[in-house]
Amino acid sequence: MLVRPVTQNSHQWEPVHTNSPQIILCFVSLSSSTFLSYFPHRKYRSIRQYNMFERFLVAAVALLASYLYIKLRYIRFRQYAHIPQLPNHLLLGHLKVFGEFMQRGVHDRHPDKIFEEMWASIGRPPVMLVDLRPINPPMALICGHDIAEQISKSTKLFPFSPPKSPTLSHMIPIIGSTSILGREGVDWKDLRKRYNPGFSPQHLWSLLPLILDKMEPFWNYLDQFAASGSTFSLETLISNLTFDVIGAAVMEVHLNAQHMDHSKQSEVIRLFRELLQTYNDDKNNLPWWIIPLTTWKRNRLAKRTDMLVKHMIQQKYTEIREEADGNRSRSILALSFQDTEALTPQLLSTTADQIRSFLFAGHDTNTSALQWAFYELSRTPRALKAVRDELDSVLGPDSDPRAVCAALARNGEHLLPLMRYTNAVFKETLRLHPPASTVRMTEPGTGFTVHAPTGEEYCLDGVIMYSCQAVIQRDPAVYGDTADDWVPERWLGEAAQSIPPSAWRPFERGPRNCIGLELANLESRVIIAIVARRYDFVKVGLGENALDEKGLPTLNEKGQYEVESELYNTRRMTSKPVDGTIMRVKLASKP
Ligand code: HEM
């Protein structure tokens, strides 16, 4: 099938009556889950936690919403008819998914997982259209790496790659309206030019001592948990650590995020956390008129965070100006100020937006990736042994965190690149559990057309283009029979050569790829190097090991411990393990 691209007239929508049942169900599920999210005191929000009256209310709202939807929804984009739609036989599947939403809790399932099931059930097309109007514009799920590459690379029409989707605007309270994440054209180019040198590998090596400085509280907490045997959230520990690291690298400030006494933490951190909390459920990106109170709270917190960040920048600016030549600050912020004459209000405002963006992007994704890395290592003895052997040979036999930090401070630039297996662990973790993605959208009438390997062409103007990494990076056509398995070895030796670079895109690709890629790699290798030999992690609750009659874990044919249940991601701005990765830890016994 070859489809002619729709260009000039694609903004003209043709009215066609549609009452596709799966879309109605989708709407029912969205409306009722949104409604349920108004009861914030329920931790897991399963339908069973609600009394009869609340259940009745939920059912009534869902029914009313679907009735209105059927009545009001007469518009259909006929020009998208050429993109594979979810067929009706998915109706039952969707119903099942909806049932699970309600059983397990409405926030407990990441949309990527649902997309993966839908995609497999319609024969794995490279693009799939999910129509979520009137909640959102229709969304083209990009499921093939060739097409993902086309929506992220430079073209004649879009020299800096197709624009980001306006749906990103729900993040403005966190990252600011002039954030590098959302800017377009030359404005974006200028920002990228200003901050690129700060994130370059050479500059990052000079920041290594600042990063290593932040590690001690982290291993102290792990030591305490090992001594007490109590359970803890790995997410909390790692997210505090990554906040401290990003504060040190970007501004050379001590945010004290790892202080367990919250009153000792920097106020920026406390406000930022509170702000992120307001995104933690289905209200994530709903319009303000559905969530007026949350929107008000977000804006209030955003304003206060912005003021504090601006104050920090002003202080840093004065310090940088007064520094003696031999004692220059190495922070990313200091480097970005190198050629500036004065801190004008406009420069202050855009810099504050970038700092907030770095604080957010620099801690959130890495936290998720490291939780998954330690979880996968904890249930894959083969890989844990390989990491430990590698660390012994690269860093020497002393696994005390102080010794590891001292070795890295002396010679990290040469030692870290030698950790090839550790690097493969991180790479494989990001393949299977990608925390983030990219979302683009071109104006109707632009004529932005992508080409499938099978010859079809799809004009994607006016639809949200979501590069679905969780599907792309598990494509059996690329990763074979082990596409769903965690196998770090696939990234080592000859085998790795056969994987197309565009099929691994956790940091996205093209001009708008992640500016913090090298920082993330550096930080994660340091953390794994410090932790992997000293501690044994054991998952508790969701995803924990299944034990045999002797109380021992059993290996499956893939070399991983059998588990009682599956640990999975949920959506909290980015993808994160649903339970915060509850763990127990003990000091590893010496072989
Ligand atoms: C495992 C860790 C990380 C992952 C998986 C990741 C992933 C991504 C992805 C997918 C994008 C593209 C977003 C989009 O197109 O909307 C991105 C952009 C970005 N990331 Fe990261 N990131 C990570 C760590 C970091 C770190 C440590 C920083 C440090 C500040 C950072 C800062 C940024 C920024 C500023 C952008 C926007 C770049 C631009 O548009 O020019 N990220 N990241």
Supply the pTM of this predicted model.
Answer: 0.86
Burial of 285 (0-12, 13-18, 19+ CB in 10 A): middle
SS3 state of residue 459: strand
Does any domain span residue 12?
A: no
Ligand 1 surroundings by CB, under 6 angstroms: 164, 180-181, 192, 357-358, 361-362, 365-366, 369, 430, 435-438, 506-508, 512, 514-516, 519-520
For residue 325, the domain's CATH number is 1.10.630.10
Q: What's the 3-state SS for 527-580?
A: HHHHHCCCEEEEECCCCCECECCCCCECECCCCCECECCCCCEEEECEEEECCC
Contacts of residue 277, defined as CB under 8 A and 6 or more positions apart, other chains included, come to: none
Domain identity same for 404 and 450: no
pLDDT the model gives residue 111: 58
Give the closest residue (by CA) to ligand 1 atom 41.
512
Do 391 and 364 lie in a common domain? yes
Distance of CA 230 to the CA centre of its chain: 28
Tell me: do 163 and 209 sit in the same domain.
Answer: no
The rounded average pLDDT for each run of 10 residues, N- to C-terminus, in the chain (591 residues) is 33 39 52 50 52 74 65 48 52 47 47 69 78 64 94 95 91 95 96 93 91 95 97 96 94 90 90 88 65 90 96 91 70 85 92 95 92 98 97 96 96 95 97 94 87 85 88 94 96 92 97 96 96 97 93 94 88 82 91 58
Co-location of 256 and 128 in the same domain: no
Same structural domain for residues 461 and 489?
no
| Integer Cα distance of 134 and 304 in angstroms | 33
Best mutation site among 184, 365, 427 for ligand 1 pocket (most ligand atoms within 8 Å of CB): 365
Single-letter amino acid code for the residue at 534: R
183 within some domain? no
Q: Are 119 and 125 in contact (CB under 8 A)?
A: yes
Atom number, ligand 1, closest to the C-alpha of residue 332? 30
Q: What is the 34 CA–ligand 1 centroid distance (Å)?
A: 28
Q: Are 136 and 262 in a shared domain?
A: no
Q: Rounded to an integer, what distance in angstroms lies between the CA atom of residue 329 and that of residue 251?
A: 9
Query: From atom 37 of ligand 1, which residue's Cα is the shortest distance away?
Result: 181
**Domain check: are 445 and 426 in the same one?**
no
For position 105, what pLDDT does the model report? Answer: 43
**Assigned domain for 4 exists:** no
**Complex ipTM more than 0.90, yes or no:** yes
Q: Are residues 362 and 398 in the same domain?
A: yes
Nearest CA to ligand 1 atom 31: 516
Q: Which atom of ligand 1 is nearest to the CA of 505?
A: 10
**530 inside domain:** yes
pLDDT of residue 107: 45
Is residue 352 in some structural domain? yes
Residue pair 439/164 in contact by the 8 Å Cβ criterion: yes
Backbone conformation region of residue 447, classed left if phi is above 0, alpha if psi is from -120 to 50, else beta = left
Q: Which two tokens stand for residue 189?
A: 């180019």
Q: Are strands 464-467 and 139-142 parallel, antiparallel or unpaired?
A: parallel
| 377 token code pair | 């290592």
- Rounded CA-CA distance 283/136 in Å is 13
Q: What pLDDT score does 19 carry? A: 43
Alpha helices in 379-400 (DSSP H): 381-395
Let me know if residue 178 belongs to a domain.
Answer: no
Would the CA dihedral through 569, 181, 469, 366 be positive or negative?
negative
Residue 181 lies in a domain: no
Domain count, the chain: 2
Judge if 523 and 537 occupy the same domain. Answer: yes
Specify the residue with its C-alpha closest to ligand 1, atom 16.
438
| Residues paired with residue 576 on neighbouring β-strands, in sequence order | 570
Same domain, 286 and 410: yes
Expressed in angstroms and rounded, the spacing between residue 243 Cα and the centre of ligand 1 is 15
Q: Kindly state whether residue 408 falls inside one of the protein's structural domains.
A: yes
Residue 542: give the domain boundaries. Answer: 189-436+481-587
pLDDT at 532: 97
> Looking at the structure, do residues 343 and 460 belong to the same domain, yes or no?
no
- On whether both 339 and 218 belong to a single domain, the answer is yes
* Rounded Cα gap, residues 10 and 3, in angstroms: 14
The pLDDT value given to residue 234: 97
Q: What is the 491 CA–ligand 1 centroid distance (Å)?
A: 22
